[in-house]
Structure 1
Amino acid sequence: MNTNVDQFTQWLDEHNGQTLSIQKGEHETGSKDVLDIDLISLELQSVEVRSANQNTQDDYLPSEEVILYGEGYIHGDETRTPLPDNYFEIPLDESFKFHSDGNEIKIETEKALYRISTN
């Protein structure tokens, strides 16, 4: 596991039991422009880091992913829909960057930008 992943999971462990606000912005392919923004709230119960099978040749699979377990909701226009499986996945790739600013962290990958904060 690299240092950024360690720092990321340590931050999450410190906020276990708290409600997290997650803002996910998907990048346009080959660009840093954000196409779509999803808003999620999740009461964090546990964290798992899962490594992909290195023998795969599928470029769509991440090298690692961080899975946040807990009851959560996707927030839409005046609606709130439960997460289907009580977890939220953050796929990580070689371009993964982590920045912490106290009660907020920023995660950037090739495909998305995540802002996670405590309520």
Structure 2
Amino acid sequence: MSMNDLTIEEFNQQLQQWHGENIRIKKHELRDEDTITMNLDHISYETHTRRLDEYTPMHALYLHGQGQTETDAQSAQPLPSAYYEIPLEDTTRYQFLNDRFTLETARGTYTIEKE
């Protein structure tokens, strides 16, 4: 592990300190790129032991709070629910560098930073 690699426990401890902050989440997944902004209320995790298909993640990180998805430079849509879900895998790589978290999964890369 390099200096900025984190365990899931270290990632969780550091991210928990961002409660009440305005954050920006960027998702890069295949040809899909999303930007979400939200006021982070709290964090939770879930494990799906009964998955119906391979697309349902085994683990998930939920960032709870009021937020919006940036659809283009001019407009934004409210999040469809009061949380944003990031699928996690046993092989997910957690990093923290320059005040930014990066989560790398087989499906894509997510960055979380303060606004």
Identity of aligned residues (%): 28
What secondary structure is seen at the aligned counterpart in 1 of 2:33? strand
- How far did 1:12 drift? 1.6
The answer to whether the aligner puts 1:65 opposite 2:60 as a matched pair is yes
TM-score, structure 1 normalization: 0.84
For residues 67-101 of structure 1, the C-alpha deviation after alignment (integer angstroms, 9 at most, x for no partner) is 01000010122111100111000010122001101
2:85 alignment counterpart: 89
**Structure 1 residue ranges, 4+ long, deviating more than 6 angstroms after superposition:** none
Give the gaps of 5 or more residues in structure 2.
Answer: 1-5
Separation in structure 2 between the aligned mates of residue 102 and residue 44 of structure 1, nearest angstrom: 19
Give the gaps of 5 or more residues in structure 1.
Answer: 28-34
Tell me the amino acid that sits aligned with residue 16 of structure 2. D
RMSD between aligned residues:
1.5
- Check conservation: 2:51, 2:58, Cα contact below 8 A: no
TM-score, structure 2 normalization: 0.86
